[in-house]
Amino acid sequence: MNLAEGVQSVSLIILSAMLIAAALGVVLLSNIVYSAFLLGGVFVCISGIYILLNADFVAAAQILIYVGAINVLILFAIMLVNKTEDFKSIPRRWIRNGSTALVCLGLFALLSTMVLITPWQISTTSPAVIENTMVALGKHFFSDFLLPFELASILLLIAMIGAIVLARRDFIPDISVKSSELTSTALTLPERPRELTNTGK
């Protein structure tokens, strides 16, 4: 998709402003649900920037994986846990705030320096624009980056197995319960207590 230069510039400015505003909302809002929704907006804005860069496959993967899977998983985890905790004043909190601000300013200065010293002009000797990005990515994945690609798949498989093991709801006996009632005690989350029912009836 080739857009006019003026349309690309205006779209980039709008997407950048939306991205910065949503990212600030993720960090500054006290409601974690709103922060999770704004995180989805950040991912959508990044996908729009990928579209402006003619990276259609990366933009689609950004929407499917980050917005459709990871952000939805974060929202489900937040809403299922439903854990509330009263705010408690931390002694010498200004030290933590100051150190956090110092780290953020350092990262901002580092990224700003990288943006300023990077030559953004397109060279006349640069290769032509890739028409089919999926074919090019497939060639690189199964030739130059085959080992990292397989290692990432193994890491994701290990993470999936770990999530399945942690999500299991096995019957755990309680010490205070009689042996005849062991089968009626189920594992429950302390954040969301539920009324237990007898499985034998």
The CATH fold of domain 1-83: Four Helix Bundle (Hemerythrin (Met), subunit A) (1.20.120)
Instruction: Scan for tokens 């905790």, then name that residue.
Output: 85
SS3 string, 124-192, reads: CCCCCCCCCHHHHHHHHHCCCCHHHHHHHHHHHHHHHHHHHHHHCCCCCCCCCCCHHHHHHCCCCCCCC
Percent of the chain with pLDDT over 70: 73
pLDDT number for residue 127 = 59
What integer pLDDT is reported at residue 160 of this predicted model? Answer: 86
Q: Is the pLDDT of residue 104 over 60?
A: yes
Asked if the model's pLDDT at residue 190 lies above 60, the reply is: no
Q: What is the pLDDT, as a whole number, of residue 3?
A: 62
Mean pLDDT of 162-183: 59
pLDDT in tens, 61-70: 899 989 988 8
Q: How far is residue 132's CA from residue 7's CA, in Å, rounded to a whole number? A: 23
What is the rounded CA–CA span in Å between residue 104 and residue 58?
Answer: 28
- Sign of the Cα torsion 18, 42, 77, 85 reads negative
Q: What are the structural domain ranges in the chain? A: 1-83
Is the pLDDT assigned to residue 173 strictly greater than 80? no
Averaged pLDDT, 132-138: 78
For 18-65, the pLDDT digits (tens) are 999 999 999 888 888 899 999 999 999 999 999 988 888 889 989 998
Residue 6 has pLDDT above 90, yes or no: no
pLDDT(194) > 60: no
Q: Which residue has the higher pLDDT, 127 or 52?
A: 52
Pairwise CA distance, residues 58 & 192, whole Å:
39
Whether pLDDT at 186 is above 60: no
User: How high is the pLDDT of residue 141?
Assistant: 81
0.75 cut: is pTM over it?
A: no
> What pLDDT is recorded for position 154?
93
DSSP sequence for 39-98: HHHHHHHHHHHHHHTT-HHHHHHIIIIIIIIIIHHHHHHHHHH-------PPTTHHHHHH
Residue 114 — very low, low, confident or very high, per pLDDT cuts 50/70/90? Answer: very high
Average per-residue pLDDT for the chain: 79
CA distance 180 to 194: 21
Largest separation between any pair of C-alpha atoms in the chain: 81
